[in-house]
Amino acid sequence: MSCLPSRLYAIVDTAQTGGRPLDSVVDAMLAGGVAVLQLRVKDPPADEFLRMALTLRERTARAGCLFIVNDRVDIALAARADGVHLGQEDLPLDAARPLVGNKLIGISTHSLEQAEAAERGGADYIGFGPMFPTRTKETGYASRGLSMLESVRRRVAIPIVAIGGITAENVAQTWESGADAAAMISYLTRSDDVEARVRSVLDRSP
């Protein structure tokens, strides 16, 4: 059974809100039906990051939404998040697991080898990408594409969250190619009507 309650994995990045307050963007996402939300904040002061995480934890808890903190195990624990998502250069999975216990741990992967290693190491789910060209984040990796996603799906049993350049136009293909969920960032947060865009994506979910 998947640990992810939705085919949409929404990420709110403080650099991708189009200048709008974080709270209002998150409220619109939740109103649209987001059931998994990750907070991504790059290089903030720890106290500022924690304040944001605590605010989002309160909002997501009211909405019954799973709340994940990106990169920072300490912030995830302090904010009582449901889990943490770690990149290849963050705290290693085997060091993070004793700290977070049974909270969710997701691992960003960019190759079949990394995906298999994350599963062997006990990750609850993996992020895989970038699927398509994206300007949201410079990963240093070329687009992986649907065929590579299909290969990863054949080799790992844990849930896969596809990420990178996913929009309403290609999300169905992403799900069909083996992703349990599709991560979206700027496609949602930079919309003129965030709530409506979330609903439009969820309406396409099988």
Annotated catalytic residue 200: no
What's residue 149's pLDDT? Answer: 98
Asked if residue 195 is part of any domain, the answer here is: yes
Number of Cβ within a 10 Å radius of residue 63: 18
Residue 61: inside a domain: yes
- Identify whether 155 is part of a domain: yes
Residue 2 in domain:
no
**pLDDT computed for residue 142 by the predictor:** 82
Residue at 1 is within a domain: no
Q: Please state, in angstroms and rounded to a whole number, the distance separating the CA atoms of residues 155 and 144.
A: 16
| Domain around 169 | 8-203
3-state secondary structure 152-200: HHHHCCCCEEECCCCCCCCHHHHHHCCCCEEEECHHHHCCCCHHHHHHH
pTM recorded for the entire structure: 0.95
Active-site option among 7, 97, 103, 137: 137
Which residue out of 7, 40, 97, 103 is catalytically annotated? 40
177 an active-site residue? no
Instruction: Judge whether 40 counts as a catalytic residue.
Output: yes
CA 55, CA 198: separation in Å to the nearest integer? 21
| Residue 54 near residue 67 (C-beta atoms within 8 A) | no
In a domain, 56, yes or no: yes
Q: 10-residue block means of pLDDT along the chain (206 residues)?
A: 90 92 97 98 93 98 98 98 97 98 98 98 98 69 90 98 96 97 96 97 94
pLDDT value for 42? 86
Instruction: Indicate the number of domains in the chain.
Output: 1
Residue 106 in domain = yes
> What CATH number does the domain containing 24 carry?
3.20.20.70
Of 7, 72, 108, 191, the catalytic one is 108
